[in-house]
């Protein structure tokens, strides 16, 4: 199990398209929510960026549904979404929340410490990641040839 110690965060991987979309999102929200914007940008800055088709199936990306356990013994299943799609009652967590920003780019079996809005530090461990249609990498399109 990949864990963090001494304040170090685990290595994360993000698709090029998620990196682009999330960078734009964070920058557009900087005036309204500077702390959350900065937290997301910090995660993006430390991420290894890969082409969409090269991302491993067990990496959390936008639209992924994942199961994680917490240091409090909770077992939760959520889908990571953009802010406009968030609905905690349906298990849809915004990437612009402390837990959402902590989840992006993690792989199954990785753990991370994250700080909730009330300032408490929590630890979660990703147990399983499932890709939904919106999260699946785009398949390479056949090259169009013109005569």
User: 129 near 59, Cβ under 8 Å?
Assistant: yes
pLDDT in tens, 2-23: 444 456 899 999 999 999 999 9
The domains located in the chain, with CATH, are 13-130 (3.10.50.30)
Contact 104, 12 (CB under 8 A): yes
pLDDT digits (tens, 9 = 90+) for 31-85: 999 999 999 999 999 999 999 999 999 999 999 999 999 999 999 999 999 999 9
C-alpha to C-alpha distance for 74 and 63, rounded to whole angstroms: 22
Of 32, 18, 97, 21, which is closest to residue 60 (Cα–Cα)? 18
The pTM (predicted TM-score) of the whole model is 0.84
Which among 93, 109, 146, 147 is positioned nearest to 11, based on CA atoms? Answer: 109
Half-sphere exposure of 55 (CA within 13 A, CB side): 34
Q: Are 49 and 16 in contact (CB under 8 A)?
A: yes
């Amino acid at each position: 199990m990949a864990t963090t110690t001494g304040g170090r965060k685990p290595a994360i991987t993000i698709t090029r398209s998620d990196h682009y979309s999330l960078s734009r999102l964070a920058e557009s929200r900087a005036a309204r929510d500077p702390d959350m914007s900065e937290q997301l940008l910090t995660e993006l800055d430390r991420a290894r960026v890969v082409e969409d088709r090269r991302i491993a199936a067990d990496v959390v990306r936008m639209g992924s549904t994942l199961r994680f356990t917490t240091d409090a013994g909770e077992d939760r299943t959520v889908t990571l979404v953009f802010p406009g799609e968030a609905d905690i009652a349906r298990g849809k967590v915004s990437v612009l929340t402390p837990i959402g920003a902590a989840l992006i780019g993690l792989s199954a079996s990785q753990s991370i410490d994250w700080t909730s809005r009330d300032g408490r530090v929590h630890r979660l461990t990703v147990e399983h990641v499932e890709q939904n249609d919106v999260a699946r990498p785009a398949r390479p399109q056949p090259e169009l040839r013109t005569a």
